[in-house]
Structures are given as structure tokens and as C-alpha cells.
Amino acid sequence: MKKIVAPLAILAFVLSLVTLFLSQNTSDLVYVDVNKLIEGYKRTKVVRGEFEKKANVLKSNVDSLVTDWQKELKLYEKERSKFSKKELELKQELLSNKQQQINNYQQAIQKQIQSEDQKATQTVVNDINDYVKEFGKKQGYKIIFGASGGGNIMYADKTADLTEQVLEGLNAEYQGKK
């Protein structure tokens, strides 16, 4: 009986070491779904809402300029028979210049909207990155991969997915800052 107990104890010890080693390795390789974090993060909705308000104001400014220009154009077309040749040329030049200014303004507004969108998105991404970094340190992970559906992680066991856990903590931290 003593001859069997010692090898069984050694075997159990070896198996526990192997199990510990394997579980340690798999817990070091974890990932989060970046798209789910961005979509599920409560600050994303707030930042997007603020961005949409700004963008709508800027777009409405452009729309009102275009509407004013269209009214001037219609009025010109309606009354052009009353103008002399010189007045027609002058009015056409004024309308053309105004159209060019509106086009330039519209392009500048589109660039500004794109820039504001990038800033808003970067704010959210920075929050997420900072939180994941601190989360990883606290939990003792050596690396946390970010999956975005673009093929950088083709397969991972669901037990390695920390997305929900990180999202809960991220939102709790954001709610605490409000």
C-alpha cells in the first residue's frame, strides 16, 4: 500500500503543477472586443450626442446659406429681364462669387466636423485604453489583446474574453466621475 501512495502523491503533485502551469498560461492571454467596449461604454453615447449637436449646428449654418443663395438665384432668374446687360453681368458675377464662397465654407465645415469626430472618438478610445491598462495591471495580466473584428484575433476561447468584465468596470468608473 505504501508503494502505491507515494507514486500517486507524486503523480497528483505533477498533475497539479501542470494544471497550474496551463491555467497560468491561458490567463495571461486574454482579449477584449474593442467594438463592444466602444459601443457599450456610456461615455461614448454622451460624447457622440455632443458631437451630433455641434455637427447639426454647423450643417444648419451651411444649409441656411445655401437656402439664401437659392432664393437670390430664383429672384435673379425671375427679374433678369428687367436688368441691363451690365447689371446682368454684375449680378451673375456676384451670384457666382457667393456660390464659390459657400462651397469653400461648406468644405471647411466638413473638415471641421471630421476633426471634431476624430477628437471625440479619440477621447473615448483614450479612456478605454487607460482603463484596460490599469485593469490589466491590477489583475496581473501580462498582455490583453484587442479584438476588433478585423482578423487580428481569429479564434479565442470565451473564457479568455474579458470584454464584459472590463465594460462593467469602465462604466462604473465613468459613472463615478460624473
Residue 177: predicted pLDDT = 79
* pLDDT-based confidence at residue 13 (cuts at 50, 70, 90): low
Residue 157: predicted pLDDT = 78
In the chain, % of residues over pLDDT 90:
64
Stretch 50-61: mean pLDDT, rounded? Answer: 95
150 has pLDDT over 50: yes
Bigger pLDDT: 107 vs 156: 107
40 has pLDDT over 80: yes
pTM (predicted TM-score): 0.69
23 has pLDDT over 70: no
DSSP 33: E
Query: Distance of CA 56 to CAs 5, 32, 47, 103, 104, Å?
Result: 77, 33, 14, 18, 18
What single-letter amino acid sits at 129? N
Residue 70: predicted pLDDT = 95
Residue 25: predicted pLDDT = 46
What number of other Cβ atoms are within 10 A of residue 108's Cβ? 12
Give dist(CA 94, CA 76) in Å, integer: 11
Residue 158: predicted pLDDT = 83
* pLDDT-based confidence at residue 147 (cuts at 50, 70, 90): confident
DSSP 31: E
Mean pLDDT estimate for the chain: 85
71 has pLDDT over 80: yes
Give dist(CA 118, CA 123) in Å, integer: 9
Residue 19: predicted pLDDT = 53
- Vertex 170: Cα angle to 165 and 171 (nearest 5): 105
